[in-house]
Amino acid sequence: MPTIAEAKTAILRAFREFRRYTGDGLPAEPISAPLPVGDPQSGVNNPNKAIIRNAFGLAFDALQEIADDIAAGAVPDNGVTTAKLIDSAVTRPKLLPAVAKSVSINVYEFGALGNGVNDTAAVQAAIDYLPSSGGELLFPGGGTYKLGQVNVAKPLNIKGAAREGASVIKPLAATGDLFNVTGVAFTARDLQFSSDVVRTTGATIKVTGPGRGSIRDCMMEKHFQGIVLDGAFAFVLDGVNFFDATPSATAVGSCNISLGPTQYTPSISINNCKANQNNESLQPSFGIVMGYVDIINMTGVDMIKQGTNLSIRPSAGQFAHGVYGANCCFDSGLIAMAITPSGGDVRQCGFTTSWFSGSQQSGIVVDPSGSAIVAGVGIANSDIISNGKGGAGHGIALIGPNVSKLSVTDGCRISDNPNNGIDVSGGATELIIVNNFVGQVGNLGGNGQTGLVFAGAMDYSVVTGNNVGGNGTAGLFNVATGTHNVIANNPGA
């Protein structure tokens, strides 16, 4: 016995094939025209298209009524068990109020064909049909839906049939946003997004204004920007995979995830999201780029071969506070992580048990410019190894001024980088670099030059308990000026 959902889908598929076969509803095809002569389904009766179309509609409506009754329920609140509610002659128990149901519609109902032609009008019509309270929009499996920009101004959940290959959405143009969501709740699940054109501007999904929601179990490929959240809050990205974003050499600014480019964007969780490029020489500008953000939690995130795999770069008037990562991998990009505010502040961020490796340049770069401040960034129990694949680079490079309260602790391995392990050339205050391996460890070679380098003005810093043996030139080199520094007990120095 098929379920109601399966029956509804079967009817919609049949209706779609009926429209394809008869031209019903297409330009210059009268709805009342008869079926083609000789059609074995017509027989002597030869019903016209309208009769069959209406039959489909009646069947679908009947199934919908049954589904509504089941969803509403007839649950007694007086403890009486009632097997059947037959008619008015039966004494009916008082019923609990029906729970409000979200409206669920199918894009086929509004004329989408899912055959790789332009389905924009049908999808927009479906969204516009929903009540102001919103609802769910289904993209059945087996279809490829090509769209121009679709505008969403009411709460919406878009859903496909499965994660890969079943429900595919593609943009018609090389530019512009695909789903443009403004100020409302939005969720997407079980969809694949791809492109037949080289994307040079625009996002696959862009949420602006105070919208909350989630994007789960989706795949995005060949995008310029995958997901942009700008002003959204309490948003979850979970199990989204990204492949082959537009290379930076083709269009600067390409990325998988952009958070807070212009608006305050708080409380975002990024879990189990992965990104990779087939060609290491064709990388996007960024994997994840953050501007005006607050309380960002990343767990199990892998950004591989994504230019600057993680970029935290608030501009003037912005800040990035509370960016946290655990069990993340930033590998084989231009830079694994760059904290480079230009006028804004970066404060109270932390990364643990993560991997910053294989970069063309340095693994981690901290370089505030102008009046920007970086304070309270911690890296613990992580690997910063084998960077500088382009021939030069440090494990961690503190370049610009106005860096304070940066900590590297709890057994970080900072090894096999061609230049220095940790290079503090711009000066800093209140550094804590304690109990790490900054040199040769296990089968990892030391850093090509020096383990720890301190220059410029450095005050109130503690550097102790670091194993700095096995580096190319020296374990530790200190020409920093300043006071109240404790640099001692670093084996191999």
Phi and psi, residue 127, nearest 5° = -65, -45
Locate 300 and state its tokens: 């199990």
Task: Count other C-beta atoms under 10 Å from residue 216's C-beta.
Answer: 19
Residues 51, 58: contact at Cβ < 8 Å?
A: no
> What is the C-alpha to C-alpha distance for residues 293 and 154, in angstroms, rounded to an integer?
24
Give the single-character DSSP code of 240: -
- Residue 181: half-sphere exposure toward Cβ, Cα within 13 Å: 29
DSSP output for 132-189: TT-EEEE--TTEEEEES-EEE-S-EEEE-S-SSSSEEEEESSSSS-SEEEESS-EEEE
pLDDT at residue 164, rounded to an integer: 53
**Helices 49-72 and 4-22 sit at what angle, rounded to 10 degrees?**
160
pLDDT at position 73: 55
- Predicted pLDDT at 89: 34
pLDDT in the model for residue 87:
32
pTM of the entire predicted model: 0.81
Reference 259, options 331, 320, 335; nearest CA is 320
Helix (H, G, I), strand (E, B) or coil at 262: coil
DSSP helix, strand, coil percent of the chain (3-state; round to 5): 10, 40, 50
**pLDDT one digit per residue (tens) for the chain, 493 residues:** 556 666 666 666 666 555 555 554 444 444 444 444 444 443 444 445 555 555 565 566 666 666 666 655 543 333 333 333 223 333 323 322 222 345 899 999 899 999 999 999 999 999 999 999 999 999 998 899 999 999 999 999 999 986 555 899 999 999 999 999 999 999 999 999 999 999 999 999 999 999 899 999 999 999 999 999 999 999 999 999 999 999 999 999 999 999 999 999 999 999 999 999 999 999 999 999 999 999 999 999 999 999 999 999 999 999 999 999 999 999 999 999 999 999 999 999 999 999 999 999 999 999 999 889 999 999 999 999 999 989 889 999 999 789 999 999 999 999 999 999 999 988 899 999 999 999 999 999 999 999 999 998 999 999 999 999 999 999 999 999 989 999 999 999 9
Provide the token pair at 342: 């230009």
Whether the CB-CB separation of 420 and 449 falls below 8 Å is answered with yes
Task: Give the pLDDT score at 102.
Answer: 59
Provide CB contacts within 8 A for 361, sequence distance 6+. Answer: 334, 335, 387, 388, 390, 392, 393
Cβ atoms of 156 and 126 closer than 8 Å: no
Where are the chain's structural domains?
A: 1-101, 114-260, 307-493
Distance from C-alpha of 468 to C-alpha of 450, rounded to nearest angstrom:
8
